Amino acid sequence: MKDKTSKTLAAIVVSYRALGMHKEAAIAAMEELARRKAAGDEFDYEAWIKEKLKEVPTIKSEQRSAMSLAFQMLAGGINAGRDKS
């Protein structure tokens, strides 16, 4: 996560909060953003996240579960179809 910009890290958090996907990545992104803030980074990620969440539609928890399952199935299908040689 250290190679990503602060805005990219904040976008990961927004995508998790809006779509409910990639929780571990969002946690790591928030930890890195907090470290950067403590080290003097002036990017106001809390305000940026709050503003972006106003711009994106939210998905209800039951929709999140269905979407997560669909993505997992899609990823499994893509990986299953790859040539293993």
Tell me the domain boundaries of the chain: 6-80
So what's the pLDDT on residue 11?
94
The closest of 16, 70, 15, 9 to 36, measured between CA atoms, is 9
The closest of 22, 43, 21 to 32, measured between CA atoms, is 43
Q: What DSSP character marks residue 59?
A: -
So what's the pLDDT on residue 1?
81
So what's the pLDDT on residue 82?
46
Report CA torsion sign: 64, 69, 70, 74: positive
Pairwise CA distance, residues 32 & 52, whole Å: 19
So what's the pLDDT on residue 21?
79
Asked if residue 20 lies in contact with residue 72, where contact means CB atoms within 8 angstroms, the answer is: no
Assign 77 a pLDDT band (cuts: 50, 70, 90).
low
Tens digit of pLDDT for each residue in 34-72? 999 999 999 999 999 999 999 987 666 555 566 666 666
Tens digit of pLDDT for each residue in 1-23? 889 999 999 999 998 888 887 89
Scored b (16 or more CB within 10 A) or e, 15-25 reads bbebbbbbeee
